[in-house]
Amino acid sequence: KNEVEQSPQNLTAQEGEFITINCSYSVGISALHWLQQHPGGGIVSLFMLSSGKKKHGRLIATINIQEKHSSLHITASHPRDSAVYICAAFLWRGSNYKLTFGKGTLLTVNP
């Protein structure tokens, strides 16, 4: 079992739909990243959060430390949002925190 689990693995939506991607983790964390990766490999950091909620444009990220769960929401989705979204958490390793990645969610938004 991965220490950082994402769901769903694949998600197909119609343009304009509200999208939610979920991430759960198994141990204490110091912070959590939501990353976006387009075909070709480059990764962009969307959010880094350790509590509460952050919003940037149509993207919203929330985290519940007690429940060890985070969500990434996309409002009014657009085909250009099609990408792999990766959750990465700084997991406690006994002496320090180590960034551990989920396997990603492939989002396809159709026009």
Partner 1 sequence: EAGVVQSPRYKIIEKKQPVAFWCNPISGHNTLYWYRQNLGQGPELLIRYENEEAVDDSQLPKDRFSAERLKGVDSTLKIQPAELGDSAVYLCASSFPGGIDYTFGSGTRLTVV
Is residue 85 a contact point for partner 1 (CB under 8 A)? Answer: no
Is residue 43 a contact point for partner 1 (CB under 8 A)? Answer: yes
Structure-block tokens of residue 6: 């994402």
Under 8 Å between Cβ of 87 and 23:
yes
Query: What is the chain's length?
Result: 111
Q: Which of 34, 47, 85, 90 binds partner 1 (CB under 8 A)?
A: 90
CB of 26 to partner 1, least distance (A): 15
Cβ nearer to partner 1, comparing 17 with 46: 46
Alpha-carbon dihedral sign for residues 9, 48, 46, 76: positive
Alpha-carbon distance 76 to 56, whole Å? 13
Return residues touching partner 1 (CB under 8 A).
4, 30-31, 33, 35, 40-45, 48, 86, 88, 90, 97-99, 101-104
